[in-house]
Structure 1
């Protein structure tokens, strides 16, 4: 195994045995929920480096999210949506899709669980009812293609699908998308994440690019959008491009981290269009990222994502690093000294 520098952060014990699909910090504590291709969802206390619980599913788990510190939800390739009760160590099936469930979110605004599947549908569920699809499903909404990534902010939901489609919904009226867009990036979408201030979203693709988009459709609003290159390197005169798998916004400063198949995590100041920081290289691809609720910790999933096919690779690992303010706080713009 390649030695990992200490600056990478502390490696969590009892990490998944196969690819890590996502990880998320709780909004209430330093608990971390991790989904994996090894058919498990794991609950960690990231500060104490302790595995608090493990739930096994019938297929690879493609996404997970918290409800609160006592329960959460998962999306599985066995087509099921599951509710996980941490305090009791048990789970039940909330409902099903007709194909693997790729994305899951819990909306604090509506109290609903929202799932996106490769069956080209978005579903909303009421988790308070008894288990069983007929009793918990609120609505099913057809999408133009398979769902690859989703993100929520307030009452807004952004859904990114195959074919570079992006649908923006208002959760208070799901009858049709508020906006139907095509990604401004030329190639397949990997990740979408909403800005914490609710004004727009960042979109990443397999071509080593990020697009910064805004909900405001006025000319002034759309004039702010832009895209930039990242997670690339030049070698022997060639530009080598890496997919950007993960985006995570800092909850305090609104800056954001990106993780790519190059094994690097970069931190960006989107407003000033600058890179603030680059962490030391991780053992393999960055599959997922999450900041803790106060922004003091960053969880990094170092997990090979098979972009170069089935080949020997470093073991999957989760690193939790302490975040210094200098890495994530926007730098003030420099102004020339006034003449006297």
Structure 2
């Protein structure tokens, strides 16, 4: 059953926006959203360019999905609504006009939350949990792509709640992303299945992930990057539990490489401390990649030079999810326990948080000055 909760909150947290002009947060602390969920965030997604407003949705292990409306002019994020589901949601996706949020849950249900009527209806289903949910915006029509632990990827017509196509996967889906005309799905057998969406959907090719760090590491997230026109600039990044990120290119495999991100060297004990890279996201229109990890940090990288541009201060909990808005101006990230250290390190008194960070500063004429020198 779905229930609706309207938030009535003051704009107290917005005071940080004015310390350095029109921006979310300041140089000391990023902007914290009011009305965060009571359990860790499992999905974080901005609305698309075609949406008449800027929205942010967050799915949580407390079996809720929430959304905020973000005012760019006032630099505030206003909690708008929440719906309670029957099982934890794993991923969300906005429709084109921002009137619906699609949700895939642990039980295998694909749901549509109508924000105008507050109705939650079932669009489709898998035999096991829906690991990812993406809106595929084509030149003629739009449809939904879902991947699942049942080793399938399915394509749905949300208007008719009907299945349009289904493809087998070699193993359980752990992560996926869509960038028309391609989709990429990372599976439990350390392979990436690339699907052509333009004349299909049909499986185009399958790649083995490169070995990096621990052999037993598991995939956590996948993000597709596209620079320029055509397929020559198509690539994707896959994050893992051993602190590494694998970069693979669609056409030129000689450009593939591994990037050691959330791994620290303990010089005193001469050991490497590896932390899971829980999520990653490419900034639209740039070569900047954001990663968030179990070490409680977000990091920004220039993947074209394999150089770290910025590393945040430590949070008191791991970072579980992150996302850029469609214009690349705002970066969102979620803080919450990811169970990487076991149940003995879980503190119920430390609640999850969601933050926004401005990526454009009017006082800085170029991104190079904003980031400063590359770290080594």
State yes or no: 1:124 paired with 2:152: no
Q: 1:256 to 1:84 in 2, by over 3 A?
A: same
Provide the C-alpha distance between the structure 1 equivalents of 2:172 and 2:70, rounded to a whole number of angstroms. Answer: 33
Tell me how far 1:255 sits from its aligned partner. Answer: 1.0
1:322 corresponds to = 358
**Alignment check: 8 A CA contact 1:268 1:274 kept:** yes
Equivalent pairs counted in the alignment come to 321
Provide the C-alpha distance between the structure 1 equivalents of 2:321 and 2:174, rounded to a whole number of angstroms. Answer: 14
Provide the C-alpha distance between the structure 2 equivalents of 1:328 and 1:290, rounded to a whole number of angstroms. Answer: 22
2:33 corresponds to = 12
Tell me how far 1:290 sits from its aligned partner. Answer: 0.7
User: Is there any run of 5+ residues in structure 2 with no aligned partner, and where?
Assistant: 1-24, 228-232
Tell me how far 1:30 sits from its aligned partner. Answer: 2.5
**Alignment check: 8 A CA contact 1:261 1:285 kept:** yes
Tell me how far 1:330 sits from its aligned partner. Answer: 5.9
1:85 corresponds to = 114
Provide the C-alpha distance between the structure 2 equivalents of 1:319 and 1:84, rounded to a whole number of angstroms. Answer: 24
Match of 2:203, SS state, is: coil
Tell me how far 1:149 sits from its aligned partner. Answer: 0.5
Note the 1:1-340 alignment, pairs <5 A.
Answer: 7-27=28-48, 28=51, 29-47=53-71, 48-68=76-96, 69-109=98-138, 110-129=141-160, 131=161, 136-174=162-200, 176-185=202-211, 186=215, 187-197=217-227, 199-216=234-251, 221-235=252-266, 236-310=269-343, 311-313=345-347, 314-324=350-360, 329=367
Provide the C-alpha distance between the structure 2 equivalents of 1:120 and 1:156, rounded to a whole number of angstroms. Answer: 19
Q: 1:201 to 1:223 in 2, by over 3 A?
A: same
Q: Which deviates further from its counterpart, 30-39 or 5-14?
A: 5-14
| Greater RCO, 1 or 2 (C-alpha within 8 Å, sep 6+) | 1
How far does the alpha carbon of each residue in 1:163-183 deviate from its partner, in whole angstroms, 9 at most, with x for none?
A: 212100101344642111111
How far does the alpha carbon of each residue in 1:291-333 deviate from its partner, in whole angstroms, 9 at most, with x for none?
A: 122222111111211111123233111011112467994689x
Stretches of 4+ aligned residues off by more than 2 angstroms: 4-8, 46-49, 172-176, 311-314, 324-332
Provide the C-alpha distance between the structure 2 equivalents of 1:204 and 1:224, rounded to a whole number of angstroms. Answer: 17
Match of 1:46, SS state, is: strand
**Aligned-pair Cα RMSD in Å:** 2.3
